[in-house]
């Protein structure tokens, strides 16, 4: 693959990667958010694949396939299943109120920061990421490291989602955006961390999502809602 094509494709994948994170802030339907997260996983796998092809490293291509399988299909599937379980649970409880509960549990009805302000914040966070990443790019200016601020921007946006969204599953997606951002940073900066670390990290993320999925069910069982803002029993 020649260099300019590689750069263009890499920038395209990184653009899609960032765009998916920003659109997560825009959408309120949890199902749509999960789909966007899956798309972002694909973009991440594409970044790893491009780097692998560019550097002729087969191990990176295998890692890219693994990342695609985990982040574009398995994790979205798990969250999707948790979402369906919440809806099914509620409709079994009170059959008549289906339409009402539908809007209640599967939508981010009232995020702490509204959509317009969220999008503006995302823009500000992206600028911040570019400012912070200047020394990182200057250390070794290649096409890949020039795209590195995108990874940091997604990390910041993930944090923002985690802090401002109230639905438990939206927070899980926020955590995963954060994690996607870090993985992208690792690929763009140094073509990924060593394989054993990458495996350990993926395993940890998978387990963390399983734990959070079970905890979501328990939050629902104990509080009757998955609105994390209602968790106010413990304070000083």
Partner 1 sequence: MSPTAFAFLLTAPAAVPLAVAGAYALAAPRTRPTAKAFVAELTGARQRASAQGSVLVAEAPEPDQVSARHGQDWAGLVSPAVILTCGSLLAADVVDDGPKAVYSGLLRADALTAWMLLVVGAVALIACGSAPAYLAGERAAGRASVRTVWRYHVLVQAFLSAMCLAVVTANLGVLWVAIEATTIVTAFLVGHRRTRTSVEAAWKYVVICSAGIALAFLGTVLIYYAARQAGIAEAWALDWPTLVAHADRLDPAVTRLGITLIVLGYGAKAGLIPLHAWLPDAHSQAPAPISALMSGVLLSVAFAALLRYRVIADAALGPDFTRVLLAGIALLTLTIAAGLLLAQRDYKRMLAYSSMEHMSLIALAAAIGSPLALSAALLHIAGHGLAKATAFCASGQILHLRGTSKIGRVRGLLAQVPWLGALFGLAIVGLLGFPPFSLFASELGIARAGFAADGGLGWVMAAALLLVLIAFAALATRATHMLLGPAPDAETAQAESPSALWPLVMGLAACTALGIATGPLGDLLTQAATVLERA
- Give yes or no for a contact between 34 and 170, defined as CB atoms under 8 angstroms apart: no
Token digits of residue 117:
């302000």
The residue among 84 and 140 lying less far from partner 1, judged by its C-beta, is 140
CB of 172 to partner 1, least distance (A): 8
The residue among 93 and 102 lying less far from partner 1, judged by its C-beta, is 93
Token digits of residue 231:
């968790």
**What does the binding site for partner 1 look like in residue numbers (CB under 8 A)?**
132, 135-136, 138-140, 155, 159, 162, 168, 171, 175, 178-179, 182, 185-186, 189-190, 193-194, 196-197, 200-201, 203-204, 207-208, 211-212, 214-215, 218-219, 221-223, 228, 231-234, 236
- Give yes or no for a contact between 68 and 42, defined as CB atoms under 8 angstroms apart: yes
CB of 137 to partner 1, least distance (A): 10
The residue among 123 and 197 lying less far from partner 1, judged by its C-beta, is 197
Token digits of residue 43:
């973009």
CB of 179 to partner 1, least distance (A): 6
Ramachandran assignment for 140, one of left (phi > 0), alpha (psi -120 to 50 degrees), beta (any other): beta
Considering only the C-alpha atoms of the chain, give the largest distance between any 2 of them, rounded to a whole number of Å. 62
The residue among 18 and 189 lying less far from partner 1, judged by its C-beta, is 189
CB of 5 to partner 1, least distance (A): 25
**Euclidean distance between CA atoms 115 and 31, whole angstroms:** 17
Q: What are phi and psi of 73, to 5 degrees?
A: -130, -50
The residue among 12 and 228 lying less far from partner 1, judged by its C-beta, is 228
Q: Cα 220 to chain center, whole Å?
A: 23
CB of 99 to partner 1, least distance (A): 27
């Amino acid at each position: 693959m020649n260099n300019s094509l590689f750069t263009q494709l890499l920038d395209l994948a990184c653009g899609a990667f960032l765009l998916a994170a920003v659109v997560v802030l825009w959408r309120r339907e949890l199902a749509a958010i999960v789909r966007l997260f899956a798309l972002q996983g694909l973009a991440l796998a594409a970044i790893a694949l491009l780097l692998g092809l560019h550097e002729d490293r087969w191990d990176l291509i295998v890692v890219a396939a693994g990342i695609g399988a985990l982040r574009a299909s398995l994790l979205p599937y798990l969250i999707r299943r948790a979402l369906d379980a919440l809806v099914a649970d509620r409709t079994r409880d009170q059959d008549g109120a289906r339409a009402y509960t539908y809007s209640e549990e599967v939508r981010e009805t009232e995020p702490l920061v509204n959509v317009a302000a969220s999008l503006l914040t995302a823009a500000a966070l992206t600028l911040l990421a570019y400012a912070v990443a200047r020394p990182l790019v200057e250390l070794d200016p290649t096409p890949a490291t020039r795209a590195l601020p995108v990874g940091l921007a997604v990390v910041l946006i993930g944090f923002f989602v985690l802090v401002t969204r109230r639905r438990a599953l939206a927070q899980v997606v926020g955590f995963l955006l954060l994690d996607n951002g870090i993985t992208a940073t690792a690929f763009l900066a140094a073509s990924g961390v060593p394989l054993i670390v990458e495996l350990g990290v993926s395993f940890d993320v998978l387990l963390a999502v399983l734990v959070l999925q079970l905890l979501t069910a328990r939050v629902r069982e104990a509080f009757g809602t998955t609105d994390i803002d209602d968790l106010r029993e413990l304070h000083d």
